[in-house]
Amino acid sequence: MKLNDRGLLIVISGPSGVGKGTVRKALFEMKNHNLTYSVSMTTRKIRPGEKDGKDYYFVSREEFERKIEEGKFLEHAEFVGNYYGTPLDKVDALLDQGKEVVLEIEVDGALQVKKKMPDCVMIFLVPPGKQALYDRLRGRGTESEEVIEQRIQKANREFKKAKLYDYIVVNDEVMNAADRIMAIIRAEHAKTERSIHKYMELIGEEEE
């Protein structure tokens, strides 16, 4: 029996190259999970085969900018001339349905989310060492030395943001990291601040 029925907003972040996507994928492949994605909104053109509301919500630049002003995004960013953002109302609706909404997101975006929804669960994924990350950033092998150097500088700045998160999870083995995140989700549901309300109902007491 779970005392907290509302889903959790799980923010998985960490320095560039740490393997956020791989860990997120492993999470969704686990058994008995109740995880879901939130579909992002974008101003980029819809591509053949994409569906509005499935791949993205496709909107005009004007509409996106109006939504920014109205505070309708959990986070948003501009990338090669297009906006991308996570609509707050869509996430809220999923949480109300009891779904755990997983956002896999860059450090800057994650900190925006924390401000908008402070009871989200902030997880900082880290490599088992700096060198492991540098090797990964180099290993992609398709970029120039200059681009790689910029990425390393960026990762070095991002490393220092760990203290702003609730949890630090080492991505030494993908399944270890995914298991630990699942444990965090279970534990967070049992946290007193999330469960006291239903508990008081259960025992028929008014909260003081």
Residues in the site for its own copies, rule: CB under 8 A? Answer: 1-3, 124, 126, 128-130, 159-160, 162-163, 165-170, 172, 176, 179-180, 182-184, 186-188, 190-192, 195-196, 199-200, 202-205, 208
Pairing, β 41-42 against β 82-87:
antiparallel
Taking the complex as a whole, how short is the minimal distance between the CB of residue 122 and its own copies, in angstroms? 9
Q: Which is nearer to its own copies, 15 or 87 (CB)?
A: 15
Taking the complex as a whole, how short is the minimal distance between the CB of residue 205 and its own copies, in angstroms? 7
Alpha-carbon distance 19 to 26, whole Å? 11
Taking the complex as a whole, how short is the minimal distance between the CB of residue 67 and its own copies, in angstroms? 32
Q: Which is nearer to its own copies, 101 or 169 (CB)?
A: 169
Compute the residue count for the chain.
208
Q: Which is nearer to its own copies, 145 or 205 (CB)?
A: 205
Taking the complex as a whole, how short is the minimal distance between the CB of residue 177 and its own copies, in angstroms? 9
Instruction: For residue 16, count other CB atoms closer than 10 A to its CB.
Output: 17
SS3 59: coil
Q: Which residues of 109-125 are buried (b: 16+ CB within 10 A; e: fewer)?
A: bbbbbbeebeebbbbbb
Q: Which is nearer to its own copies, 72 or 180 (CB)?
A: 180
Alpha-carbon distance 25 to 38, whole Å? 14
